[in-house]
Structure 1
Amino acid sequence: MKVLVVGNGGREHALAWKLLQSKQIEQVVCVPGNGGTASMAGCQNLPLAVDDFAGISKFALENGISLVVVGPEVPLAKGITDYLQAKGLMVFGPVKAGAQIEASKAWAKALMQEAGIPTAKAAVFTEAAAAKSYVKAQGAPIVVKADGLAAGKGVIVAETVEQAHSAIDAIFQGQFGSAGEFVVVEECLIGQEVSVLALTDGLTIRPLLPAQDHKRIGEGDTGENTGGMGAYAPAPIATPELMARVQQEVLERAIATLKSKGIDYRGVLYAGLMISPDGDFKVLEFNCRFGDPETQVILPLLETPLEELILACVQQRLGEMPPIAWKPGAAATVVAAAGGYPGGYAKGQVITGTEQATTDNVTVFHAGTKLNEQNQIVTDGGRVLNITGIGSNFEEAIAQAYVGIQSIDFEGMYYRRDIGHRVLRKAEV
């Protein structure tokens, strides 16, 4: 079968890479793809925008595409699934109504409250003065969120009331575009974040391995928030006992409530959790797609063929599938970013060493890259590469990733040198 993957990041490279491991997959087409997908056997790039629904539909229908897998949240929020389904195409990814769970933090918060899902206390505002009054009454630290999609950067953890007021002003003044029409102000939760990505056909929901991302740009989890600077899986803090509770109290309640609203949600439901020091948890947010860079550590450990799981979701027979099978061991990925990210950064820097970095235990997933006219891989985004290592334990997996990144070079390259510090510290105790 032929599969079309929508997106151009490390997540989409990982999806294409995993799909092509199956004998059932004849070809993967990435729209628009990146330098890594352009260079991968069995894969081709199609230079269309992710929201060019008519162009994607035309290509898929004319070229015998059996399945469309949507990576990023923006086309899902704009209704790509609804559009392509109306053309008779099979799509993995929720419809527009379901994608609201990520596209509007206010809508998602209301759904969590209706479903009885444990989450932080919050209030929603449409003008700055009321939001600032609420912050002053609540005190700091406190969390200020732009309501809509902001590429993972619309969340500000304010340590003081003044910082919160500045964040409110920035959001309402358009720093995050249309994402700032509403502001969500939320209590600040303390603990460790864990990403639980689950597959669902709208009736049954099954979690993948829990992963832990590293959001901050600086070592020691300092500095600005990013789209994610590295990740590892399976996250030990998400114990089997905790995952059983997440299944019942979060995933199943969310799907049941979506269904009660008439939303047929098929795709990935991704719960971002905060696990407190006493081992309890609350949901910080929901996303409507595979996480990035979590996907780059989850898929290398997946034993069950990915397309079988995706088709079971699309065809609403996930409940008939055997348990998801996993390879033993651990995976870790380190993001090589452009200098200046998450602020301004240069593009077009020549990248060397990706082939030398690739071994049986190291895979280089391209994110912000492209092939230039000289057939060179060059930088084309803030997060440029994901170097993923696998091993029998976290120490091995993390070491493999860092050995791999030593072979890679481009001007201004930056990466955190402490990815996995929590699991490594725990192993040393």
Structure 2
Amino acid sequence: MTNQLNAIERLAEVKQERMQKNLKARYAKEKRFQVYGIMSICLGMAFLAMLLGTIFYGGASSFMTSEIKLTINYDPDVIGVTDLTDEDELKWADWRGLLSTSLAERFPEVSGRSAVRQRNALVSSIAEYSLRDRLLANPEKLGTSEEIWIVADDEIDAVMKGQVDRTVPESERRITDLQLSLIDSLEAEGEIRQKFNTTFFTAGDSREPEQAGIRGAMIGSFYTLLVTLLLSFPIGVAAAIYLEEFAPQNRLTEVIEVNINNLAAVPSIVFGLLGLAVFINVFHLPRSAPVVGGLVLTLMTLPTIIISSRSAIKAVPPSIREAALGLGASKMQMVMHHVLPLAMPGMLTGTIIGMAQALGETAPLLMIGMVAFIADIPGGPLDPATVLPVQVYLWSDLPERAFVAKTSGAIMVLLGFLAIMNLLAVYLRKKFEKTW
């Protein structure tokens, strides 16, 4: 009897030891899993920080620009214009001569064709047009002189921002030793400065990086999103209400629901091909216009808005519907007066997320021609335009070094808009959502 009890006790001890060992192994697995999860999160955050840090480090310089102070003498003999109202004279006006003369007066020691060419390259190649516009806006300045700040060339701007290594041989630099000495002379006299680059936000696209801006792309994005919102929100909400509240449960409805869910996963470039085939080739709408971009993005965002709107409608408790119907409301009154107001916060959240997705799209817009170089600011949804993501794509393909900073700067602005839209979605959801 004693031996049997001892055997039972030993068996119980073995089972307990085995159980403790199994528990320790399970706890160790759970702890390892938690560690792996934390490591994955940290790794993801590190890569995100690296990406954002690279973008911000490369794009911060695009918000500053360099200017050179020059004394401009609006000499009619230099310009070749005596009457600013005479269009024939203005056609042959030598506006570049104003800059050349001013630079020659500032650096009289520079001589020789090559040296003069390097000296004239200190200022932007299209700065002459700002002088022309300034004089045409103030014709009384003809024959007088004034000190003004002229936009420097992008290579000079790179020197001022410390992006040029002066220690390398001259043959390995895009800027010459003579130009470096002229910059040092201007800097010693306080005649070159860096200021906030307002042109980046007020100008359209340009082949010259110091004159390129994102205003045209921002307005193009605004018109495109406006068309998208005006079409996708009412259509998406109406489709969600019909499918959730009025549509009969049959095979046709199931096919529609399956297709809506599948369209949400279709690559965006497919919608671009559809827009190219239908809106441009069949309906002959203008290429590269925000109205076509808005139509294409409407097709792309509709599934997202319909799915989120249906989820918001489902979240409304059945008791709300039953109470409204019990008090004598029709089904339409029940939906419009009770269900829709309560589901609207979720619908707005889904719509804003869909708009943020549309704002960051590039591929479908490339297919409808919004990749063209457009320097003019669009005046309406039918004018040729581009959008911010496409502008980033265009600048990233250009060889000039200054466009690298412009690309990062445009990405920063785009990320800012996306962050604002997502924060707005979170705010609306927190402010208007109701818990049941």
Q: TM-score, normalised to structure 1's length?
A: 0.20
- Higher helix share goes to which structure? 2
Larger Rg: 2
Q: Tell me which protein shows more strand as a share of its residues.
A: 1
| Structure with higher RCO (Cα < 8 A, 6+ apart) | 2
- TM-score, normalised to structure 2, is 0.20
